[in-house]
Structure 1
Amino acid sequence: MAANDSSVHVIDERVIIVQVLISLFLCINFLLITVFFMKDFFYTTMRYIFFALTLMSDCVFLLLTNALLILSYFRFNMHMSLCLIVYVAVSLYTFVTPVTLTAMTLERFVAICMPLRHRDLCSTRSALHCIVIIHGVSSLPCVVVLSIFFATASHSYYTKAIVCSVEKFILHTWQTHLRSAVNQFYFLVMVIIIMFSYFKIMKVARAASGQNRKSTWKGLRTVVLHGFQLFLCLFQLWCPFIDAAVLQINLMLYVNVRYFNYMVFILSPRCLSPLIYGLRDEKFSAALRSFVLCGLYKKH
């Protein structure tokens, strides 16, 4: 009995830690979103628009996954129709951030390798069109899963009250394999785009000189950080399969592995966006300091 009490106590502590971290990330993201809307330069520049999109996507994703975590922890049953709506949103915003990161990498590629065409290709109008495309591309995995679900689920299944999770919409083993194949296809395409942009920018960086060289290498470092963040975001697509495999071995090992996956591959990528553009970018960093210090900060 003591062992059981200890296990529950550990899980309670972990839930509290997650709540603290998510609250911190949300506060930081809301602060950065506020700064974004304070200057027209930010919301008329493609890379900052994409940055704000990742922040908003991360906020929605963190709020929804945290709500599911709490509901699952307390074994709270949800009507299937409501679970369906939650699943659609979670599935969509699971992909919006990595797809947006890929678009940001392409924007850096155009800015550095095609500077004369950057103004035309990366205008505010183009950014808004890209946002629609990003959401369309990000919704395709969800459409695939739900199309199969609607075709195979019985009518009575829609009236159930369940503990909501992604697995509730996977009724057959082959659906798991199909979802895995779709995720791996997305991973492959994004990795190819990241690597292509990296090598093209590397080539330009080696040929550049002076101020252009410094700017190009900075863009290259940004692409590397995007690649690392993208890797963490996409690795979470394999987390459900790892969790399922570990569950067959040991329950407490499953709890530990799932907690580790959630912290490393779901929460941590969401804190890298503020680092990459909120702190590394000179203009945004200056605006952020000015806002936090109530206008007292002046760049010399």
Structure 2
Amino acid sequence: MQNLTEFPGNATFHSSLSVIIKVCVVIPFFCVFLCCIAVMLHIFASHRHFLDTTRYILFSYMLINDTLQLLSSVLLFLFVMGRVKFALVYCVPLLFFSTATFQNTPLILATMSLERYVAILYPLQRPAAWRSDQIWIIILSLWLISCIFPIIHYSIGKRDPAVDILSTPVLCKSTLINSSPIQGLFQAAVSIIFFAVVAVVILFTYIRILLETRKLRQDKVSVTKAMHTVLLHGFQLLLSMLAFTHPITETLIVLHANWLPEDISFFNYFCFILIPRFLSPLIYGFRDQSLRVCIGKTFLCCSNKVKPSVRGKLQDNLLAS
């Protein structure tokens, strides 16, 4: 059997077809995610009582953060698929934004677990920072923490003297910026610390709430719901940690399948970046009874608005005939 390199036209066709398939898979998936997030954010904006509750404010913040993270990662994906090149001055901010929002996710999960812990153990003596009108202080602190490490990460790297930051067009990939070994070690250390701390926080809050259920004789329903919520945050953390399993999946794929490197990268991106970010807010949102009722009413109102318009068009067609 002859090598495909002997047929450059055939190889180019297969490469173009592969790019088209990948884009056609990612874009509809991302559009569905945006529609679901838009519905949830519309509900939060339309119902004042959601914005007066700390838990829902943090959840809406998580929705916005995941949307920004997916938006930046999908843009980077499209640039790489289209072989679009531009200067580092535009590439680095996009990579920085994607990294910061990615690291912000576990911090939000830890904060939401701590919020449940404070609400259950200190319902009448809640600290001022955990109140709905002061929670923005914690949110700004999370953004500050998630932005500090990417700044350090990109500052310790060595720049190629042949690449001009303002004019040299490059393919915007993280491997281009993270070429230094010390950057790889720093990124691995930060990721381990981030997720280890969050795992300890979630485990601590779950155990404390579990012990509290044995003391309380009343209102055990709300405590049980809080336990389930903390468990859900642990599951969300597990989904987020799947992004760091790509070395294992790459090894397994190489051993059992003859995939191209770009196909392996796409598999890891779709399974361990897109899907966890898509499932995490949906599971949390549709699990909440109050939010689920509002989502049902929103879709019901949309269907009721569509039906009269369709009925009116049918009547106009009958009259015209």
> TM-score by structure 1 length?
0.87
Which structure would you say has the larger Rg?
2
Tell me whether 1:94 sits opposite 2:123 in the alignment.
Answer: no
Give the number of aligned pairs.
Answer: 294
Cα contact 1:145–1:169 (8 A) shared by 2: no
Which residue does the alignment assign to 1:124?
132
Q: After superposition, what is the alpha-carbon deviation per residue over 1:184-216, rounded to whole angstroms, capped at 9, x for unaligned?
A: 111111111111111111111233345x22221
Distance 1:247 1:286, change over 3 A: closer
Matches within 5 A, 1:1-300: 1=4, 4=11, 5-6=13-14, 9-118=17-126, 120-149=128-157, 154=161, 156-158=163-165, 159-209=167-217, 212-237=219-244, 239=246, 252=259, 254-294=261-301
Distance 1:144 1:244, change over 3 A: farther
Which residue does the alignment assign to 2:308?
none
Q: CA RMSD in A?
A: 2.8
CA distance in 1, matches of 2:213, 2:47: 30
CA distance in 2, matches of 1:218, 1:67: 38
Report the Cα offset of residue 217 of structure 1: 1.5
Letter of the 2:230 counterpart: V
Letter of the 1:282 counterpart: Q
Percent identical:
27
Which residue does the alignment assign to 2:315?
none
Letter of the 1:132 counterpart: L
Cα contact 1:105–1:197 (8 A) shared by 2: yes
Cα contact 2:106–2:194 (8 A) shared by 1: no
> TM-score by structure 2 length?
0.81
Cα contact 1:222–1:276 (8 A) shared by 2: no
More deviation in 184-193 or 166-175? 166-175
More deviation in 64-73 or 263-272? 263-272
Report the Cα offset of residue 139 of structure 1: 0.8
Cα contact 1:110–1:118 (8 A) shared by 2: yes
Report the Cα offset of residue 11 of structure 1: 4.7
Distance 1:80 1:95, change over 3 A: same
Report the Cα offset of residue 110 of structure 1: 0.8
Question: Secondary structure at 1:115's aligned position in 2?
Answer: coil
Distance 1:291 1:50, change over 3 A: same
Q: Which runs of 5+ in 2 are unaligned?
A: 305-321
CA distance in 2, matches of 1:97, 1:18: 21
Distance 1:207 1:257, change over 3 A: farther
Letter of the 1:181 counterpart: A
Distance 1:127 1:79, change over 3 A: same
Structure 1 segments (4+ residues) deviating >4 Å? 1-8, 241-251
Cα contact 2:149–2:190 (8 A) shared by 1: yes
Question: Secondary structure at 2:172's aligned position in 1?
Answer: coil
CA distance in 2, matches of 1:19, 1:64: 13
